[in-house]
Amino acid sequence: MAETIRVMISEEEIDAKIREMGAKISKDYEGKEIHLICILKGGVFFMCELAKRISIPLSMDFMSVSSYGNEKSSSGVVKIVKDLDEAIEGKEVIVVEDIIDSGRTLSYLMSMLQDRKPKSLALCTLLDKPDRRTHEVHVDYTGFAIPDEFAVGYGLDYAQKYRNLPYIGVVESQE
Ligand code: IMP
Ligand code: MG
């Protein structure tokens, strides 16, 4: 069965949205220095583009978590595969994620990071599927709220494929 990708959000729309988000963050944190935390691997494309659109000083760190489950949904068990290199105590931290689905991963992660005593802790996501939420998460910056469809591209994968698409698409199987 062949797979085709239907475009959900174009490269131009994403680019414009990220510029807007970068400008908003730069304004909200004016006079401060921020520390971006990328959740690997999905968040990496978004974080790189976002960082380029932020005009205030920033540093970056990376964390990798796995939520055991099948390819299209997470199980709720979150394991830290790669922890941060630097402490976040006293820092103005913004977590950068590709998508929030059930909210399980992020509700766990945000409370874990809060325990490390950052000066502030915010959450920024490119995509949000609010209809799928089972765990409450406070999201400070959202790029696009999308319907309950499995999205790929711009960092998001389906069985590790399609992360490199420069747009957000939906996988469609064809006979
Ligand atoms: P949550 O814990 O259910 O919010 O799941 C979050 C993680 O599941 C995301 O960081 C993605 O890695 C993955 N995920 C959820 N929805 C999608 C999707 O539509 N496409 C690709 N990955 C997804
Ligand atoms: Mg992710």
Count of domains for the chain: 1
**Each residue of 102-148: pLDDT tens digit?**
999 999 999 999 999 999 999 999 999 999 999 999 999 999 999 99
Catalytic site residue 101? yes
Range of the domain at 26: 10-147
Ligand 1, atom nearest to 104 Cα: 2
Q: Domain with 110 in it: what CATH number?
A: 3.40.50.2020
Residue 170 lies in a domain: no
Residue 69 lies in a domain: yes
**Each residue of 40-64: pLDDT tens digit?**
999 999 999 999 999 999 999 999 9
Q: Which ligand minimizes its atom distance to the CA of 44?
A: 2
Q: Let me know: does 171 contact 150? Beta carbons within 8 Å.
A: yes
| Beta-carbon contacts of residue 43 (< 8 Å; ≥ 6 apart) | 96, 97, 98, 126, 155
**Cα–Cα distance for residue pair 117/87, rounded to 1 Å:** 9
- DSSP labels for 81-100? EE--SS--TT-EEEEEEEEE
For residue 150 and ligand 1, the question of a CB distance below 6 A is answered with yes
Residue 76 lies in a domain: yes
Residue 39 lies in a domain: yes
For residue 98 and ligand 1, the question of a CB distance below 6 A is answered with yes
- Mean pLDDT for all residues in the chain: 93
Residue 53 lies in a domain: yes
CA dihedral 71, 76, 80, 84 (to 10 degrees): 100
Residue 3 lies in a domain: no
**Cα–Cα distance for residue pair 34/3, rounded to 1 Å:** 40
